[in-house]
Amino acid sequence: MIMSTGTVALFGGAGFIGSHLTERLLEEGYHLVVVDIDSEKIEDLLSHNRIDFHELDIRQDDAGTVTSVVESADVVFDLIAYANPKQYVDMPLEVVHLNYDQNLRLVEDCVETDTRLIQFSTSEVYGKIGNRKGDDEVFSEDGSDLIMGPVENHRWIYATAKQLLERMVHAHGLENDLDWTIIRPFNFIGREMDYLIEEPDAGTPRVFASFISALLYDHPMYLVDGGENERAFTHISDAVEAMVYILEEAERYNREVVNIGTPGNETSIHDFAHLMRDIYADRSPDGDLPPIENVSGEEFYGAGYEDCERRIPDATKLTDAGWEPQYDLRETLEEAMSYYLEKYERAEAPSLD
How many Cβ atoms sit within 10 Å of the Cβ of residue 109?
20
Give the Cα separation of 66 and 11 in Å (integer).
9
The helix/strand/coil state of 62 is coil
CB 57 within 8 Å of CB 122:
no
- Cα-flanking dihedrals φ and ψ of residue 75, to 5°? -140, 140
User: For residue 2, which of 258, 317, 318, 251 has the smallest C-alpha distance?
Assistant: 251
- 70 neighbors 109 (Cβ within 8 angstroms): yes
Burial class (CB in 10 A: 0-12, 13-18, 19+), 108: middle
CB within 8 Å of 180: residues ≥ 6 apart? 110, 116, 117, 118, 119, 169, 170, 172, 173, 254, 255
Gap between the Cα atoms of 21 and 10, Å rounded: 9
Helix locations, the chain, DSSP H: 16-27, 65-72, 85-90, 92-96, 103-113, 157-176, 207-217, 236-248, 269-283, 297-301, 316-319, 329-348
Q: Is residue 298 a contact partner of residue 222, using CB atoms and an 8 Å limit?
A: no
Residue among 317, 340, 314, 181 at smallest CA distance from 255 = 181
Among 30, 88, 100, 158, the one annotated catalytic? 158
State the Cα–Cα distance between residues 117 and 114, nearest whole angstrom.
9
| Residue 338: closest CA among 285, 284, 268, 272 | 284
Residues 97, 59: Cα–Cα separation, whole Å:
9
Residue 158 is a catalytic residue: yes
State the catalytic residues: 158
